[in-house]
Amino acid sequence: MSKLWGGRFTASTDSFTDHFHSSISFDQRMYKQDITGSIAHAAMLGKQGIIPMEDSLLLQKTLKEVLEDIDNGKISFDEKAEDIHMNIETILIERIGDVGKRLHTGRSRNDQVALDIRMYVKEEIKNIELLIKELMEVLNNLAKKHTETIMPGYTHLQRAQPITFAHHLLAYVEMFKRDYARLEDTYKRTNVMPLGSGALASTTYPLDRAFVTEQLGFDSYTLNSLDGVSDRDFCIELLSTLSIIMMHLSRFCEEIILWSSHEFKFVELSDAYSTGSSIMPQKKNPDMAELIRGKTGRVYGYLMGLLTTMKGLPLAYNKDMQEDKEGVFAAIDTLKMCLPVFTAMVDTMEVKKDTMYKATKGGFTNATDAADWLVKQGVPFRDAHEIIGKLVLYCINNNTNLDDLSLEEYQAISPVFNKTVYDAITVEKCVEARNVPGGPSKEYIASLIELNDNYLKTI
C-alpha cells in the first residue's frame, strides 16, 4: 500500500516501523469525531469556494456512509495507514477517487488530531459528569435515611466525637460537588476549536473558522496556530480532575474496607459487590472497593505520564504527542468502570446502625462534651480538660465509660459535678448540640440535604 505522504520517499517503511508508529489500534475509537470534523471541514471548503460545491457535497455524503459502515462493523482498519485520520481518508479515496483527495485541503493531521481529541474529551466529560451526579444522588438519598444514625467521627483513626452517618456521607457529596465543578471547568477549556491551525502556521486558504466552530458545537476557536496544534493542557487538566475523583473514591473505599472488617462491622457489602476466598470459607472480601482503590494508582500514573511527555517538547507538534491518547482513554475507561460500581456498592450496602452506635458510646467520644459541660459550670477549659482526662483514665482502668459512672465517682474527681452532666453527655446530645452550619445536628444536616437536592436539580 502506498502512503498518503509517500511523495518524497523512495523506499517504503519497514513493516516493524509501521507497527511501531501506528496509532490505529487505539485512536480508532475517535472515528466518529474524525468523520464529524471532516464533514464540517468539507462543508466549509465548499461554502468558501475552496473546492467545488459538488465535491464538497459528495465528500460529506461519502463520509456519512463511511461512518455508517464503521458503526455497522463493515470496515476493518489497516495498520499501514497509520492512524484513524489516514485510514478514513484512504477509504474515502478508494470510494470516490480524486474528490476524496480534496478533503485534506487547508488542513493538517496536526490540527485534525487536536480537534478529534477535543471532541472526544468533551463528550466523555459529559458522560463522567452524569456518573458523578448519579453518585451524589445516591449519597444524598442515603443521607436522608441516616440523619439520626450516630457513629463515631475519627481523627488519627481514633474515635473522636459523635457524628451521624449522614454527616459522614455528605462530606463526600461536598468532594464530588467540587469534582463536578472541576469537570465543568475542564470542559470550558476543551471547548475551543483548533482546526485552521494547519500543521503549525495556519493556512493560505480563506477558511471560515467561525463556521466550523459553530457546526461542531464549539464555543470559540484557538487564537494561535502554534498553540492550537501543540496544546494538550485540556488532556492534562482532565487527567488531573480524574485523579482527584479517584482519590476521593479511594478514600471512601478505604473506609468501606475498614468498615466491613470484623473489627468495625459498620457496614456489610451486598453479595453482588463482594467475593469469597478460594481457600478460606468464612471470607467475604470487599474486592470491588479494593480494586477501585488500586486503580487510583494507575490514573495518577497517566497524569504523570502525560505531564512528563509534554515537558520537553519544543513548539509545535511532535510525534511524542501521539502518546497522549492511550492514557487519556484508559483514565476515562477506568472512571467509567469505577464510578457505577462504586455507586451501586454504596447503594446496596447494609448499614449496621447498632454497631456504629455502640462504637460511639464505647469510645469516649463524649469527652469533649463532658469538658464543655464543666466549662459551662464556670471551670476554665484547661482545667476541665484535665479533669475529664483523669475521669477517662479512671474509666479505662475500671473498664467502663463516662455515661456509666456514678455521681460519687464523678464527684470524687471534681466536686463541681452534679446529675445534669448525664443528660449533657449522651451521644444524641453531643450531636444535636453541634447545630452550627457545617455540623452534624439533624436540623443542619436536613438543610444541607435540601440544598444538595436543589443543586442536583440544576446540574
Question: By the criterion CB under 6 A, which residues form the site for ligand ARG?
Answer: 23, 27, 83, 109-110, 113, 317, 319, 321-322
Nearest by Cα to 245 from 155, 129, 122 = 129
Q: Nearest approach, Cβ of 4 to ligand ARG (angstroms)?
A: 11
Residue of 25, 261, 277, 447 marked active site? 277
Q: 316 or 402, CB closer to ligand ARG?
A: 316
Q: Nearest approach, Cβ of 359 to ligand ARG (angstroms)?
A: 54
Nearest by Cα to 248 from 144, 173, 157, 183 = 173
Burial of 317 (C-beta count, 10 Å sphere; 0-12/13-18/19+): buried
Q: Nearest approach, Cβ of 295 to ligand ARG (angstroms)?
A: 25
Contacts with 326 (C-beta within 8 Å, 6 or more apart), sequence order: 26
Rg (CA), the chain: 31
Q: Nearest approach, Cβ of 60 to ligand ARG (angstroms)?
A: 23
Phi, psi of 355 (to 5 degrees): -65, -40
Alpha helices in 72-164 (DSSP H): 84-96, 98-101, 109-145
Q: Nearest approach, Cβ of 39 to ligand ARG (angstroms)?
A: 19
Q: Nearest approach, Cβ of 231 to ligand ARG (angstroms)?
A: 13
Cα–Cα distances in angstroms (integers) from residue 332 to residues 289, 295, 299, in the given order: 18, 12, 9
Q: Is 25 a catalytic residue?
A: no
Q: Nearest approach, Cβ of 122 to ligand ARG (angstroms)?
A: 17
In eight-state DSSP terms, residue 351 is E
Q: How far apart are CA 153 and CA 158, in angstroms?
A: 8
Q: How far apart are CA 265 and CA 356, in angstroms?
A: 8
Q: 4 or 257, CB closer to ligand ARG?
A: 4
Phi, psi of 325 (to 5 degrees): -70, -45
* Grid cell at residue 59: 465528500
The overall longest dimension of the chain from CA atoms, in Å, is 101
Q: 83 or 369, CB closer to ligand ARG?
A: 83
Q: What's the one-letter identity of residue 249?
A: L
Strands 192-193 and 150-155: unpaired
Q: 273 or 317, CB closer to ligand ARG?
A: 317
Contact between 230 and 317 (Cβ < 8 Å) = yes
Q: 34 or 369, CB closer to ligand ARG?
A: 34
Q: 208 or 323, CB closer to ligand ARG?
A: 323
Q: 321 or 339, CB closer to ligand ARG?
A: 321
First-residue to last-residue Cα distance in the chain: 50
Q: 108 or 260, CB closer to ligand ARG?
A: 108
Q: Is 277 a catalytic residue?
A: yes
Strands 158-164 and 350-351: unpaired
Question: Helices 165-190 & 442-458, crossing angle to 10 degrees?
Answer: 20
Contacts 24+ apart (CB under 8 A), 354-359: 355/264, 355/265, 355/266, 356/149, 356/150, 356/151, 356/152, 356/165, 356/266, 357/149, 357/150, 357/151, 357/427, 359/151, 359/152, 359/159, 359/264, 359/266
Q: Nearest approach, Cβ of 317 to ligand ARG (angstroms)?
A: 6
Residue of 76, 156, 278, 406 marked active site? 156
Neighbours of 406 (CB within 10 A): 9
Q: 46 or 228, CB closer to ligand ARG?
A: 228
Q: Nearest approach, Cβ of 197 to ligand ARG (angstroms)?
A: 12
* Positions marked active-site: 156, 277
